[in-house]
Amino acid sequence: MRVSGMTQPNSLENKMSHVIGRICLAVLRGLTCFIIVTGIAHAGETLDRIERTGAITLTNRDTSIPFSYMDASGKPIGYTVDICMKLVDAISAQLKRPGLKVRFVQVNPSSRFPAIIEGKADLECGPTTNNAERRKIVSFTIPNFIASAKMVVKANSGIKNWSDLRDRTVVTTKATTNAQSIAERNNVRALNIRLIEANDDRESFQKIVDGKADVFAMDDVLLYGLKANVKNPDDYDVVGSPLTVEPYAIMFSRQDLELKKIVDTEMARIIQSGEIYSLYRKWFNSPIPPNGVNLNMPMNRLLRASFQFPSDKVAD
């Protein structure tokens, strides 16, 4: 039986635990700054809360096909939502609390980090890149997908690769790793790119549809998902050599070591048992809601290789 570890804080910790400050987390690769309430978090406090309330809170997105989005009834579905539900089962078993109530809080790329850091959600169930900079403020488990940054353009644009972006307008989504990568490419190649940012992936794609941008730079799998669900998919192409490697992983508080142990153990089990391959086929090689579109994306060699040697320390 797990016992909550409450210890008497020393005087320094006692002072720090009552400090409310403004902390701007200016993390590399495009995280926006935001204000959080600070405090001392004890290992196990997330699990303590889940055990005490009998409920767990997950994040969801509304446009990140096929990872986390809404079905026709408004229910959160997707590849990473399915993975999170398996993690919930493992947490429930560890706590001996069957039937945990699952709550969802919708986030976007800008709000997902505050949701975890401020304790508004326990697991972030979307396409979020695990890298060394982000691991300074949150924890990640073993990656479940590896994407590459590419771009979507109108099929008649004449744009085929990054070198074709000179004097073009490029849109990407706020608080993603792609904004930093595009800025770096622009500086190195002196392409005179005009970079604009949208609030979410759907808004970014719409700027291509409306002719307000020439290119939407984002992770390839998200571009394919958006393209597959527009009115005329053949009017758009996903192009460009891979600009970055983006290992997606479930995110949670870095303060709770007990939670990390459970999540890492279950994620390793999902991979080693082969369940991850069934989930992959369901969401990437089969018709998916809401329109029955099949993304037809074979598992790439980087992801397949990563499953042979699972590790949460990636993109360093």
Q: Got the DSSP string for 208-234?
A: HHTTS-SEEEEEHHHHHHHHHTSS-GG
The reply to whether 93 and 197 lie within a common domain is no
Residue 108 maps to a domain: yes
For residue 99 the two structure tokens come to 């039937």
Assess whether pLDDT exceeds 90 at residue 3.
no
Looking at residue 180, its pLDDT comes to 82
Q: Which of 10-14, 123-127, 210-214, 240-244 has the lowest mean pLDDT?
A: 10-14
Structural domain contains residue 110: yes
Higher per-residue confidence, 193 vs 190: 193
In this structure, the answer to whether residues 259 and 297 fall within a common structural domain is: yes
How many whole angstroms separate alpha carbon 294 and alpha carbon 160? 24
Residues 92 and 233 occupy one common structural domain: no
Chain-centroid distance of CA 127 in Å reads: 3
- Whether residues 232 and 84 share a domain: the answer is no
pLDDT at residue 15 in the model: 36
Domain boundary among 194, 222, 245: 245
Inside any domain, residue 239: yes
Over pLDDT 70: what percentage of the chain? 86
Residue 164 sits in the same domain as residue 274: no
Per the domain annotation, does 46 fall within a domain? yes
Mean pLDDT, residues 220-240 taken together: 92
Average pLDDT estimate for 17-45 = 38
- Does the pLDDT value for residue 193 go beyond 90? yes
Strands 194-198 and 293-294: unpaired
pLDDT confidence of residue 178:
85
Domain extent at residue 204: 148-245
State the residue for tokens 């909550």: 4
Interval 240-279: pLDDT, tens: 999 889 999 999 999 899 999 999 999 999 999 999 999 9
Least confident range of 44-48, 61-65, 277-281, 308-312: 44-48
Number of domains into which the chain is organized: 2
DSSP one-letter string for 137-166: TSEE-S-SEEEEEEEEEETTS---SGGGGT
Domain-located, residue 6: no
167/235 same-domain check = yes
Within a domain: 16: no
Q: At 59, which helix (H) or strand (E)? A: strand 55-60
119-131 tens-digit pLDDT = 999 999 999 999 9
Mark which of 215, 230, 245 sits at the end of a domain. Answer: 245
Q: Check whether residue 66 and residue 202 sit in a common domain.
A: no
Residue 305 has pLDDT above 90, yes or no: yes
Q: Are residues 192 and 288 in the same domain?
A: no
132 and 177 part of one domain: no
Residue 316's pLDDT band, with cuts at 50, 70 and 90, is low
Report yes or no on 11 lying in a domain. no
Beta strands 215-219 and 101-106: pairing type?
unpaired
Domain boundary among 212, 227, 245: 245
User: pLDDT at residue 36 above 80?
Assistant: no
Average model confidence (pLDDT) for the chain?
A: 86
Residue 25 lies in a domain: yes
- Specify whether 134 is located in the same domain as 253: yes
Mean pLDDT, residues 8-31: 36
Identify whether residues 241 and 162 lie together within a single domain: yes
Report the CATH number at residue 241: 3.40.190.10
**Range from 105-114, 188-197, 200-209 carrying the lowest mean pLDDT:** 188-197
Strands (E) across the chain are located at 55-60, 63-64, 68-70, 76-77, 101-106, 139-140, 145-154, 169-173, 194-198, 215-219, 236-239, 245-248, 251-252, 287-288, 293-294
35-41 mean pLDDT? 35
Residue 34 has a pLDDT of 33
- Are 294 and 236 part of one and the same domain? no
